[in-house]
Amino acid sequence: MQNFKQSFFNNVLLITGVLCLSTLILLFAGAPPVDAFKHLFLGSLGSWIKFTQVLMAWIPLTLCACGLVYTFRIGLWNIGVEGQVVAGAISATAILRMGVTSGMPELFLVFAFIGGLLGGGLWAVFAGFLKTKGGVNEIFAGLGLNFVAQAITLWLIFGPWKRPGIASMSGTEPFSSEMWLPTLSALRLSPSGLLLTIVALIGTGWVLGRTRLGLALKGIGKNPQAAYLHGLKPDIYMIFAMGLAGGCAGLAGTFQITGVYHRLIPAISSNYGYLALLVVMLANYRVWWTPGIAFFFACLNVGSIQLPMMLQLDSALSGIIQGTLVLGTLFMQAWQVKKKNE
């Protein structure tokens, strides 16, 4: 009870702090804070259309966050998630392009998701091999591969997959609508994407909380030496966790292709990979907290699109709020540990 009260008090303190800080930032930029917060709220939850936009951002964000929980559990900092989203998107596009003339769009849509899963997964497994066999820290390997994936995307858009006639930053030729992920007739919401994300969430929760695999990941994350002496092979589990994380990220990339953009664009990942890292950190690496925090972050992202139009502010305000929230949380956790030690 004492613990609960303490954490409740901390959260209230954190949210008030971040609110005050954002207000100060807005005042400093010469903008009316109340109006800005109002536009953030109305721009994300003000209507059903906005709400579905939030959900369409929530799907890839939560998928990436799900994957990251595996790698954080085993003690890996999978910063390469961004590149894994891109790798998944590229694989999905490749498969959809094969299916254009096949006459079986539904089948190839399913294949695209399998391909995206494998593409993202293999991209991550490569980083895992670099870590375990090549002695390359997963952070440096992941970062490097992010940029490589980005370069491959650009090359494909301007080279082999360019639009007939002109190649441009607007991306490849859009797919015909039979190859789009079906959406509800009135709203741009994809029920299958939503279902997939919920399945991934429950699956992640079950694997990590209820299976031997989850226990092994946790054990290795907490103490690799002890786990090794216990007969677990950290290397294999690390590669496996990377594969799972990459697979989830690849699904997110496939969703961006089939459900959102319907083509390959240079910024296909929409930075959801990096944002998902913040989500999982704020969730304190717990699975069941991620969907809520991802929803809040998606609200901020979608709502902030209003700021340039309504108040001539830059939409980066959402990122500032998200970043300060995570920094504040990290600070409080460290402060408590420090106090406990003294």
Partner 1 sequence: MNNLHFTILTASIVAGAAPIVLAALGETISEKAGVINLSLDGSILLGAMVAFATAYHTHSIFLGFLAGAAAGSLVACLVGFFSIYLGLSQVAVGFVLTLTTRDLAYFFGNPYSRIYGPQTGPWPIPVIHDIPILGPIFFQHSIPVYLSMLMIFLCWWYLYRTPMGLCLRAVGENPGAAYARGTNTRNIQMWYTIMGGLMIGLAGATFSLCTKPGWGRPQGAEGTGWIALAIVIFGGWHPVKAALGAYLFAFLQVMGIQLQGLFPTIPAQVFQVAPFPLMIFTLVLTHVAQKGRVYGTTKFPNILRHIMNILSSSAPAALGKPFRPD
Question: What residue ranges bind partner 1 (CB under 8 A)?
Answer: 25, 28-29, 77, 79, 130, 134-137, 139-141, 143-145, 147-148, 150-151, 154-155, 158-160, 162, 167, 274, 277-278, 281, 312-314, 316-320, 322-324, 326-327, 330-331, 333-335, 337-338
- Cβ proximity to partner 1, 139 vs 194, nearer residue: 139
Least spacing, CB of residue 48 vs partner 1, in Å? 29
Nearest approach, Cβ of residue 22 and partner 1 (Å): 10
CB atoms within 10 A of CB 166: 7
- Residue placing its CB nearer to partner 1 in the complex, 47 or 168: 168
CB of 335 to partner 1, least distance (A): 7
Write down the least CB distance from residue 209 to partner 1, Å: 24
How far, CA to CA in Å, does 255 sit from each of 55, 114, 192, 322? 12, 11, 10, 23
CA distance 63 to 197: 6
The one-character DSSP state at 165 is: S
Cβ closer to partner 1: 54 or 277? 277
Evaluate whether 83 touches 146 at the Cβ level (below 8 Å).
Answer: yes
Concatenated DSSP letters of 190-215: -HHHHHHHHHHHHHHHHHHHHSHHHH
Which of 211/336 has CB closer to partner 1? 336
Decide whether 25 or 122 has the Cβ nearer to partner 1: 25
Of 38 and 162, which has the nearer Cβ to partner 1?
A: 162
Q: What is the rounded (10 degree) CA torsion for 271, 276, 281, 285?
A: -160
Q: Which helix (H) or strand (E) holds 221?
A: helix 212-222
At closest approach, how far in Å is the CB of 186 from partner 1? 34
Q: Which DSSP letter does residue 263 get?
A: S
Q: How far is the CB of 325 from partner 1 (least distance, A)?
A: 9
Contacts of 74 (CB under 8 A, 6+ apart): 217, 218, 220, 221, 234, 237, 238, 241
Per the CB < 8 A criterion, the answer to whether 78 and 124 are in contact is: yes
